[in-house]
Amino acid sequence: MPVPFRHLALLALALATTACEGRPGDREVAQARPMLDAVACHDDEQLMLIGDLLQQAKVAAETASTVNTAAHVETARLHLIRGSACTMTADEQHLRMAESELKIALEEDPAQVDALIQLGRVHTQQGRYDEAAAALDRAGKAGATDAQLHVHRALLQIERRDWQGAQASLERVPPCKPGQQELRVCGGKLAVAARINLYTGMGDRAGTLRAYRESIAAFPESAFMHGNYAQYLLREAGDIDAALDMVGRAMALRGNRQMELTRIMALYARWAQRLEQDPAAAPQARREAEVAGSPEEVMAAAGCTVGGNQALQRMLLAFLRSGLSIDTPGPKGNTALMTAAACGEPDDIRWLLAQGASTSARNAYDANALILAASENRPGNVQALLGKGELEAAAAGEALHVAASRNHTAAARVLIQGGADVNHADERGFTSLMAAAQYDNAELARALLDAGADADARSGEKQWTALMMAQGNGHDAVAQVLREHEAR
Domain count, the chain: 2
Residue 464 DSSP symbol: B
pLDDT tens for 327-365 read 999 878 999 999 999 988 899 999 999 999 999 999 998
* Domain-located, residue 7: yes
Q: Which residues constitute the domain of residue 446?
A: 422-488
pLDDT tier, 85 (very low <50, low <70, confident <90, very high otherwise): very low
> What CATH number is associated with residue 3?
1.25.40
pLDDT tens digits, one per residue of 147-168: 889 999 999 999 999 999 999 9
CA 191 to CA 7: how far, in whole Å? 22
Which 3 state secondary structure label does DSSP give 380?
Answer: helix
Position 273 in a domain: no
Considering the domain boundaries, does residue 251 fall inside one? no
Interval 452-481 mean pLDDT: 88
pLDDT tens-digit series, residues 29-40: 555 555 555 554
Q: Is residue 309 part of a domain?
A: no
The per-residue pLDDT for 287 is 97
Query: Looking at the predicted structure, is the pLDDT value of residue 107 above 90?
Result: no
Single-letter amino acid, residue 147: A
Q: Which of 115, 135, 155 marks a domain boundary? A: 135
Lowest-pLDDT range of 28-32, 259-263, 397-401: 28-32
Q: Which residues contact 263 (CB under 8 A, 6 or more apart)?
A: 244, 247, 248, 251, 292
Last residue of a domain, one of 135, 155, 178: 135
**Among 80, 114, 135, where does a domain finish?**
135
The SS3 assignment for 459 reads: strand
At CA 463, angle to CA 461 and CA 469, rounded to 5? 115
Is 192 inside a domain boundary? Answer: no
pTM for this one? 0.74
* Burial class (CB within 10 angstroms; exposed 0-12, middle 13-18, buried 19+) of 202: middle
Instruction: Return the minimum-mean-pLDDT range out of 21-25, 33-37, 319-323.
Output: 21-25
Tell me if 384 is assigned to some domain: no
pLDDT of residue 270: 97
In a domain? residue 37: yes
- State phi, psi for 52 to the nearest 5 degrees: -65, -45
Domain CATH code at residue 478: 1.25.40.20
Q: Is residue 268 part of a domain?
A: no
